[in-house]
Amino acid sequence: MMDDRNALFSQSTFARAIEFIWQEAELLDRRDYQAWLDLWDPAGHYVVPIDPNATDYAASLNYAYDDHDMREKRVQRMTSGFSASASDAARTVRTVSRFTLSSDAPGRVVVKSAQVLVAYKRGVATLFAADLTHQIAFANGELKLAEKVIRLIDSTEALSAIGFLL
C-alpha cells in the first residue's frame, strides 16, 4: 500500500506527464518540429507499429521505428520543401485524453492515452484514431520522451503518405 507522501508524488508526476503530452500534441499541431525533437531523450524511439499486438518493435514491421537520427531525418524531410509531405502538408488538430498511469518507477512514468487527430489537406478532412503509450523520463527536473508508441486503430490497413507526425 502506498503512503500519502508517495501517492502525492505519483499524482504530481502523473499531472506533469499529462501536461508534457499535451505540450507535445500542441507542438505537433503547430508543426514546431524542432521543439518536438528537443522533447526527446537521444536514446528514445518513435514507433508506429503495424501489428496491433507487437511489443518487440525492432523485430517487427512498423510504419515508423525512429531512433534519434531517423527522427531528425524525418523532420528534415518534412520541413525541407523538397518532398510532397513538406510542400503540401496537412493541417492537424489532435485531442489526447483518457490518460491512465501504466507504470510509475523512479525517474520514469508510462502513460497510456487515446488520441483523435483530424488532418485537413486539399479540401478533405481525414480522421486518425490511436492508442498512445508515452514513456517519459524524469532527469534533473526535466521531462524527456523515452518512447512514444502510436497504435492506430486501423494499423493493419494501408496507410497513405500522411506528411505529418502522429
Tell me the pLDDT tens digit for each residue of 8-39: 457 788 999 999 999 999 999 999 999 999 99
Cell numbers for 95, please give them.
485531442
3-state secondary structure of 27: helix
Give the CA count within 13 Å in the CB-facing half-sphere of 73. Answer: 7
Q: Where are the domains of the chain?
A: 4-152
2: pLDDT strictly greater than 50 = no
pLDDT at position 139: 82
Beta strands in 68-139 (DSSP E): 91-105, 108-121, 124-139
Q: Classify domain 4-152 at the CATH topology level.
A: Nuclear Transport Factor 2; Chain: A, (3.10.450)
- Looking at residue 109, the DSSP 8-state letter turns out to be E
Distance CA 108, CA 4 (A): 20
CA distances in angstroms from 116 to 9, 14, 97, 129, 151, listed in the order given: 29, 21, 9, 5, 12
pLDDT for 100-128, tens place per residue?
999 878 889 999 999 999 999 889 999 99
pTM: 0.89
Distance CA 49, CA 53 (A): 9
